[in-house]
Amino acid sequence: MYANPGDFLDGLRKSGVNPSIISRIERQGNVMTLLPVNSEGAILALRGQSGIMRTMDYRGTEVLSAYGPLELDSLRWAVLAEIDSEEAFAPVREFGKKVMVFGTGMALTVTLLALVASHFLTRPLRALAEGVRKVGAGQTEVVVNLRTRDEFGDLGRAFNAMAASIKEQKDKLQRQISENLELLHGILPASAVVLRQGGDTKANRQFTDVTVLFAEIVGLDDFSAREGEARAILVLGDPVSAFDEAAEKAGVEKVKTTGGSYLAASGLSVTRPDHCRRVIQFAKEMTRIAGVFNRDHKAVLKLSIGINTGPIAGGVVGSRKFLYELWGETISIARLITRDMS
């Protein structure tokens, strides 16, 4: 325990041994028959018992003591083998520290591995959840990049196929809606289309100040008799289409064409302060188109055009095969003007 006797004597002084005993040990040069040992292990060994115990030694220091009796003739000796508890259990404490450090390291490693594993395991689920959220929000161009060959990869490919199918169906539906809307605009004025889209299937509306044009093509019967009805219908489609283009350029809305009659108005969908001038300009263009048709087909068709300005009412007639009709005295007068001219 001590590198030199001086350290040993200092240790005895610090442990509270009687100074006179220490002086005698110092003079004698050893502790034989001088240093009293009254530890519990010594007492039990002198009583003939043996064992191992933790007790306090002669220095007042806790030790791990192995004790036992030794019989020599008629004398009983006590044999003690002691080591400081701190020294005896130092390897155990060191091992405990190592176990604790190792266990902590293992716990941190396992936790880190669990976090990494959970990240890789939940990443496909997060990607799929994000894709579902986007599709639910109306986005159709959604692709989930899962290139694994496990169940997640199969699920990702199935999701991408579903998203592509939804996009295709949506595009088809959008094209169909556009076609239907274009067809509807060809039948109804823009104002009536807006009303029907808002839920008003009849699209009834009062117009306080519009200009209407009612035109009648005169001479169709003679032209049909000369050209034949089938060819006459085919050929007459050209001037009617030209009328439609001219009306659009002039800011006039075509309402309907029935046989040889053509009904149009300005100021229905868009309020135009110059609706009367626009209709007159359109009438002149109709006359020019009819003249070109007569020249190209050697026909003698004439246009009887009636124009009137005032209030009218408009609305959809029919539920499946519907038409847009205009009513009112303004329309009636325009028709009467056409008949008087013809």
Which pLDDT tens digit goes with each residue over 97-117? 888 888 888 888 888 887 776
Q: Is 268 helix (H, G, I), strand (E, B) or coil?
A: coil
CATH of the domain at 129: 1.10.287
In angstroms, the Cα distances linking 37 to 26, 80, 82, 116, 244 are 18, 10, 12, 63, 130
Quote the pLDDT of residue 1: 45
- Tell me: do 196 and 327 sit in the same domain: yes
Alpha helices in the chain (DSSP H): 5-14, 19-28, 40-46, 85-88, 90-136, 151-187, 190-197, 220-227, 229-250, 275-297, 329-341
Give the model's confidence band at 96: pLDDT under 50 very low, under 70 low, under 90 confident, else very high.
Answer: confident
**Could you tell me which residue, 281 or 23, shows the higher pLDDT?**
281
The pLDDT confidence band at residue 282, using thresholds 50, 70 and 90, is: very high
Q: Are residues 82 and 178 in the same domain?
A: no
Kindly state the percentage of the chain with pLDDT values over 90: 14
The pLDDT tens digits of the residues spanning 122-152 come to 677 777 777 777 777 777 777 777 666 767 6
Q: Tell me how many domains the chain contains.
A: 3
Q: What is the span of the domain harbouring residue 43?
A: 5-86
DSSP state of 341: H
Contact 282, 264 (CB under 8 A): yes
Pairwise CA distance, residues 305 & 283, whole Å: 7
CATH number at residue 319: 3.30.70.1230
Residues 208 and 290 both lie in one domain: yes
Mean pLDDT of the chain: 80
77 and 100 both lie in a single domain: no
Q: pLDDT tens digit string along 171-219?
A: 888 787 777 666 655 556 666 666 666 666 666 788 889 999 999 988 8
Could you tell me if 270 and 308 lie in one domain?
Answer: yes
Answer yes or no: do 49 and 60 share one domain.
yes
Measure CA 339 to chain center: 65
Q: How buried is residue 102: exposed, middle or buried, by Cβ count under 10 Å (0-12/13-18/19+)?
A: exposed
Angstrom distance (rounded) from CA 13 to CA 53:
25
CA 97 vs. chain centroid, Å, equals 50
Tell me: pLDDT of 121 over 70. no
Last residue of a domain, one of 32, 59, 86: 86
**Do 204 and 282 belong to one domain?**
yes
- 180 and 205 inside one domain: no
Return the pLDDT at 291. Answer: 92
Q: For strands 302-317 and 253-258, give the pairing.
A: unpaired
**Same domain flag for 204 and 273:** yes
The answer to whether residues 302 and 296 touch, using CB atoms and an 8 Å cutoff, is: no
Residue with tokens 């839920």: 199
- Domain identity same for 296 and 254: yes
Structural domain ending residue among the three candidates 130, 156, 187: 187
220-to-205, 242, 340 alpha-carbon distances in Å: 34, 17, 18
Last residue of a domain, one of 67, 86, 105: 86
> 337 and 231 in one domain?
yes
For position 197, what pLDDT does the model report? 66
Distance CA 189, CA 187 (A): 7
Alpha-carbon distances of 2 from 6, 30, 314, rounded to whole Å: 8, 14, 121
CA dihedral 92, 98, 100, 106 (to 10 degrees): -150
Identify the bridge partners of residue 314 per DSSP, sorted by sequence position: 205, 326
pLDDT at 342 over 80: no
Residue 112 sits in the same domain as residue 149: yes
